Structure 1
Amino acid sequence: MDIRGNRQLLLKWTGQLVLFMLVVNVLHRLILQPLTNFIFFMALQTTGYQVLFNTDMLSFFSTPQAILAALLIIGIASYAAYLEFSVIVILSQYLKSGKLLSLKDAIKKALTTFSSLRGISLVGYFFYVFIFLPVSGMGLSSALFSRFQIPNFITGELTKHSWGGLANFLIYGLITLLFFLFIYTIPMMVLEQWRFFKAFKRSIYYVWKNKQSVFKLFALYGVVWLVADWLPREVFLRMLHSTAVNFEAIYQTYRLSMPTLGFSVILLFYYIGKFVLMPILLSMVVMFYSPENNQVIDLEKEQAVDNKLAAAQKSIGVFGKKLTSKKGVVLLLAVLIIVPMIGSFYRMIEGAEDLHEPIVIGHRGSVAGVENSLAAIQGAIDAGAEYAEIDILLSADGIPMVIHDDSLKRLADIDQSVHELTAEELGKIALKQNGMVGEIATLEEVAQLTKGKINLAVELKRHGHEKENLVDEVADVLKEHGLLEESIFLSLEYRLVDEMNTKYPKTISGYCIFGGMGVLDPGVIRTMNIDFVFIEEWMATREYLMEFRRAWLPVYVWTVNQKESMRQLLDLGVLGLVTDYPEWGTEAVNEFQKETNRVYLEEEDWQRN
């Protein structure tokens, strides 16, 4: 039967997919997410943590409670996502033969295929669905966890090399290639009832064997993904400087005006697409696949599932019947739609005190010279930045040196380390980066250059071979030049931040966070001995920012190297842009100040709180 000519059948099938995805999102929001969060927070509390940052996450996940919680969450999330995918695969396979299967029957048949997740296959499937597919960003992701990006501190470090841009391109190119090579994995698990690793390997074989028809699928898949997913996000990024497609970005730029209507249509198209994009894309894959096993579902297994469902329905009783009635479904769908709308509106009007005017911090100085060199710092001065961020490591003779890596391999192509050489020896080494040449400066030399021109944001770094106290050595140099209290200090190690603030209470020191887990409670954050936080750009959500701001902590974001992102982050409430291009940051802050009417607290007022 030619399904392309049967419009009525296609419309009914599409309606089934929309209804199914609505129900899936409701169940994820109301049941699965609260359940997995509960398991995680129970493990968190039993280990004495309330919130996790940086290396604390590694310590937490080495505990028995965390391991048990992780296994439970992996199991729950994997089975939920598998059911979601398998129902779509089965509906699509029956449509392919010209039949319309009811959602109830599709779910029953999907439950008979769970044997594909036995043993180690479950773990492999979890990483494929919840790590690889979201990182690929190609739309074939579960509603439970749909998008994830490689942190900027990884991709950003690559761009420090002359070949960094090419490396990033190759990494994402490889991810995309692997995505299409593994694209038949899920249909094979469902239709052939193969375990994950077998389906994984057979998908590659199938793609290679059926190159001609598969390339047609790839082309069609790419067009649908570009129009429904990539294009709306690109419009919001380029025209609204927003990294997220939401009404908040429209409202902040146009308020209630005519352009708001046009962008709202794009927003509506995007959110409708979010519900149907994954099932449509997965269905396309199924349409281009010919299973080896003609009998999709074992009839004996289906009868066993029928018996179990009947027993479950009997135990649920009256409440279950009400919940699955039409009114119950409508109520659940209303919750799914209304709650996010209320949350979005609340985020637009909620706020916290604007502690100080936004500042620009030149990351490792700037790109005007080799990172952390005097030329790079001069670039931050010329750009009008408020601070030049520098990294400090101690030399073999205990002198604070301005350099990021302990290993000299990346910048000098030398198989030696900072901790092995004296300050004099380090000063003779030529550093090369992006066609530029520089030298390793001492903190003393940097202090002489910057005094009266720009403030310093000093990142304290340990290589583990210190013979002197890092905090004291840095403080002594800056104190000698009268810069100790004018500078700010930060570190990825909370212990160093706490030590600086304890020994030198008049200084301002903050915590540099590259990852966090748990509930951000302002009351808990206030117990930390910190004055501000540096966070990664991907962590800069409105909710995350406001919780820190309610704890009276300014939030500075690193490393922001896109002009489009700078204004969006300022609108969200970021008070500091850490960037390799401080001239762009200065321009963005100046425009932001002209176009907004913010009232800022005096420094002594917010610091006292």
Structure 2
Amino acid sequence: MKTKALISNTLKNIYENKFYFVTVSSTIQFFIIFFGKIILSFLFWVILQASEQVNITKDNFFHLFTNIYSVSAIIFFIIILAFLIFLEFAFLTFMAYSRIYNTNIQKKEIIKNTFEKIKMLFGVQIIFFIFYFIIMIPVANIGLSSVFTENIYIPDFITGELTKTTTGIIGYIIGTIILLYINLRLIFVLPLTIIEEHKLSENIKISWKITKKHQFRLIWTWIVLILLFSIVIGFFVVLLYGILLLIRETGEHLLTSSIFLTIVEILLFFMAAISKIVIIVSLVVVLGKKKILEEKGKKLSKKEKKISKILLVIILISIINLFIFNYNFLKNKPIIGKNIEVVAHRGYVHGGVENSLESLEAAAKLKPNYVELDIITTKDNKFVVSHDYDLKRLAGIKKKIKDLNADEIIGKTIKQNGFVSKIVSFEDFVKKAKELNVNLFVELKPHKEGESPDYIDKVISKMRELGIDKTSKIISLNLKVLEEINKKAPEIEVGYIVPILFGNFGNNNVDFYLVEDFSFSENMVIQVKKENKKLYVWTVNNENKIVKYLQEDVDGIITDELELVNELKNNKQENIFSILDTLGL
């Protein structure tokens, strides 16, 4: 089928069934998300109980597989997740198939069919499912993804570090292209698995064969149709916003803002649903030659009409509840940036090489609450300021800091983003910080091979010697080091850096937490408040995320974009779109 014909056919089927597709798909996904999250949250709690853990982090991940109970809970979690994903796409695929090819299938049959498909995952097929599950995680928000995977992504702190070198950028781009290619080649796997009777492994082969040629027809179809719908919805959003601004001139804007926000949220929700419908309908159109269901009239029966009316009532009730929520949210909306501390990540990297005196000076001009730096011990147990354990990335020297004395490292030339500077000692960095009246977040980076027995005492002694034990804070990925410092020097505030976290913080003897944006949740805010501790989020560089966290009840953010943060904090004019950012839309 040629691209033009595929676009025309897909658009025609969507238009003819627009009400049915949008209402049914939206309702299905709402219920699957609602009940699915409850079930999966409970099963996650079971996994934690079985493994005797309070959370899952990079440090205890492999502990989950040390007893039969936690392993069994994990397997059951995967099976339920597989069932929910299959159920979601079974409804969507049969919804499209039945309307396009004049067939009819009952919801009981869809659920029964899903159970049958899940059975095939037992045994070797689970390997193929896990492989496919990883591949179907959307890359750059492209591809056919489940509501349970569309918010999964590579954390920013990983991609951020990868793209700080030319090799990393090239590797990241190549890896992304490869994943996008595989994602596209396997795009027919779920529809085939739902409609046909083949095993998942066989459907992977079939999908690969189907997409051997003319993959770009599918891509162009999706681009054209999704862009078309985006333009239409975007037009209405801009039009509504213009009307909102005119109405605001009358003085009363809480009600109109609530109405506008509700309408925009509905449009965005429908846009997400339509994007998925476009992909599924186009796939079903391509697979349309394989008729496996009994043909019946396309016209809605009275029963179907009744169901459609019920769905409409459910949607209307949901819209009313959404409006009430938005009204109360806007009424009590937090002030942007109120009492939020800003921490400059490794200084200001737009004004100098990271962790250099120049980046410290550049940061000081923008007046953050703190400047973060990293310190590492040398061969002779001195502290130098560096993020990396070796000198390759910034100095171009293939040597590790632990193998060199301080005088062999301090003064070495480092380069980054067109800036040139020198590696400095911890003492010199603190001296300059005091001159600039800047307080510090000192990140300890103990060597993986281990430190000297008196490492913690040296850190405490150095903080006291430099006179920053009460004005600056210590942070680290090493919880044991932090708890020991807190025990020996309670006057020094210590913060635990958490890159990946599923669940709650443990009962840790620290003063505050620094959680990566990927792992942040409202439950964390509730927990730290109960424990009278603080919570910082790192590394927040995206404008939408900056706005979001400036309105969250967190204590601070760590960022590379100081100038942008200041601009957003000082912008007192309310922007309704910033509310969407806060709500994660």
Q: Could you tell me the TM-score, scaled by structure 1's length?
A: 0.77
Q: Which amino acid aligns with 1:424?
A: D
Residue 366 to residue 16, structure 1, CA distance change in 2 (3 Å) = closer
Q: Which residue of 2 aligns with 1:223?
A: 224
Within 5 Å, which residues of 2 pair with 1:271-350?
A: 271-289=269-287, 294=290, 296=292
> 1:448 aligned to 2:431?
yes
Aligned residues: 546
The one of 318, 341, 358 aligned to 1:359:
341
Residue 114 to residue 55, structure 1, CA distance change in 2 (3 Å) = closer
Moved more, 471-480 or 96-105: 96-105
Q: Which amino acid aligns with 1:534?
A: L
Q: Report how far residue 498 of structure 1 moved.
A: 1.1
The one of 554, 562, 578 aligned to 1:582:
562
Q: Report how far residue 403 of structure 1 moved.
A: 0.9
Structure 2 SS opposite 1:193: coil
Q: Which residue of 2 aligns with 1:176?
A: 180
> 1:198 aligned to 2:202?
yes
Structure 2 SS opposite 1:377: helix
Q: Which residue of 1 aligns with 2:489?
A: 504
Q: Which residue of 2 aligns with 1:47?
A: 51
Within 5 Å, which residues of 2 pair with 1:448-487?
A: 448-453=431-436, 454-463=438-447, 464-487=449-472
Q: Structure 1 CA distance, aligned partners of 2:530 and 2:205?
A: 50
Contact 1:347 1:543 in 2 (8 A): no
Q: Which residue of 1 aligns with 2:248?
A: none
Within 5 Å, which residues of 2 pair with 1:58-137?
A: 58-108=62-112, 113-114=117-118, 116-129=120-133, 132-137=136-141
Q: Which residue of 2 aligns with 1:25?
A: 30
Residue 339 to residue 176, structure 1, CA distance change in 2 (3 Å) = farther
Structure 2 SS opposite 1:588: helix
Which structure 1 residue ranges, 5 or more long, are not aligned?
A: 241-253, 299-323, 597-609
Q: Which residue of 2 aligns with 1:308?
A: none
Q: Which residue of 2 aligns with 1:250?
A: none
Q: Which residue of 1 aligns with 2:532?
A: 552
Q: Structure 2 CA distance, aligned partners of 1:586 and 1:9?
A: 46
Residue 469 to residue 411, structure 1, CA distance change in 2 (3 Å) = farther
Q: Could you tell me the TM-score, scaled by structure 2's length?
A: 0.79
> 1:569 aligned to 2:549?
yes
Q: Which amino acid aligns with 1:502?
A: K
Structure 2 SS opposite 1:384: coil
Contact 1:152 1:538 in 2 (8 A): yes
The one of 360, 371, 374 aligned to 2:357:
374
Contact 1:116 1:194 in 2 (8 A): no
Q: Report how far residue 570 of structure 1 moved.
A: 0.6
Residue 561 to residue 113, structure 1, CA distance change in 2 (3 Å) = closer
Query: C-alpha deviations, 1:66-106, integer Å up to 9, x for none?
Result: 32211111111112211332343344344443434444455
The one of 253, 256, 262 aligned to 2:254:
256
Query: C-alpha deviations, 1:272-312, integer Å up to 9, x for none?
Result: 34445434421221212356xx46379xxxxxxxxxxxxxx
Residue 414 to residue 557, structure 1, CA distance change in 2 (3 Å) = same
Residue 235 to residue 434, structure 1, CA distance change in 2 (3 Å) = farther
Q: Report how far residue 125 of structure 1 moved.
A: 2.1
Identity over aligned pairs, percent = 24
CA RMSD of aligned residues (A): 4.2
Q: Report how far residue 396 of structure 1 moved.
A: 1.0
Structure 1 SS opposite 2:364: helix
Q: Which residue of 2 aligns with 1:312?
A: none
Moved more, 452-461 or 195-204: 195-204
Q: Which amino acid aligns with 1:462?
A: P
Q: Structure 2 CA distance, aligned partners of 1:565 and 1:9?
A: 34
Query: C-alpha deviations, 1:442-499, integer Å up to 9, x for none?
Result: 1111112111421110011111332253332222223222112111111112212212
Query: C-alpha deviations, 1:398-456, integer Å up to 9, x for none?
Result: 11121112133322333321111111112253323223333322111111211142111
Contact 2:538 2:557 in 1 (8 A): yes
Q: Which residue of 2 aligns with 1:515?
A: 500
Q: Structure 1 CA distance, aligned partners of 2:254 and 2:498?
A: 37
Query: C-alpha deviations, 1:46-67, integer Å up to 9, x for none?
Result: 4332234442344345544332
Contact 1:228 1:270 in 2 (8 A): no
Q: Structure 2 CA distance, aligned partners of 1:338 and 1:399?
A: 63
Residue 56 to residue 278, structure 1, CA distance change in 2 (3 Å) = same
Q: Which amino acid aligns with 2:71?
A: I
Residue 50 to residue 444, structure 1, CA distance change in 2 (3 Å) = same
Contact 1:392 1:402 in 2 (8 A): yes
> 1:399 aligned to 2:382?
yes
Q: Structure 1 CA distance, aligned partners of 2:28 and 2:192?
A: 25
Q: Structure 1 CA distance, aligned partners of 2:453 and 2:45?
A: 40
Contact 2:528 2:535 in 1 (8 A): yes
The one of 142, 147, 161 aligned to 1:143:
147
Q: Which residue of 1 aligns with 2:515?
A: 535
Contact 1:54 1:492 in 2 (8 A): no
Contact 2:360 2:371 in 1 (8 A): yes
Contact 1:395 1:421 in 2 (8 A): yes
Q: Structure 1 CA distance, aligned partners of 2:164 and 2:454?
A: 30
Residue 340 to residue 564, structure 1, CA distance change in 2 (3 Å) = closer
Q: Report how far residue 112 of structure 1 moved.
A: 5.0
Q: Structure 1 CA distance, aligned partners of 2:555 and 2:235?
A: 25
Query: C-alpha deviations, 1:498-526, integer Å up to 9, x for none?
Result: 122111111111111112122x4xxx76x
Residue 224 to residue 261, structure 1, CA distance change in 2 (3 Å) = farther
Contact 1:412 1:430 in 2 (8 A): yes
Structure 2 SS opposite 1:489: strand
Contact 1:356 1:575 in 2 (8 A): no
Moved more, 582-591 or 508-517: 582-591
Q: Report how far residue 567 of structure 1 moved.
A: 2.7
> 1:415 aligned to 2:411?
no
Residue 499 to residue 227, structure 1, CA distance change in 2 (3 Å) = farther
Residue 72 to residue 102, structure 1, CA distance change in 2 (3 Å) = closer
Q: Structure 2 CA distance, aligned partners of 1:265 and 1:356?
A: 28
Contact 2:255 2:327 in 1 (8 A): no
Residue 503 to residue 404, structure 1, CA distance change in 2 (3 Å) = same
Contact 1:393 1:401 in 2 (8 A): yes
Query: C-alpha deviations, 1:536-557, integer Å up to 9, x for none?
Result: 1233444543443343333222
Q: Which amino acid aligns with 2:552?
A: L
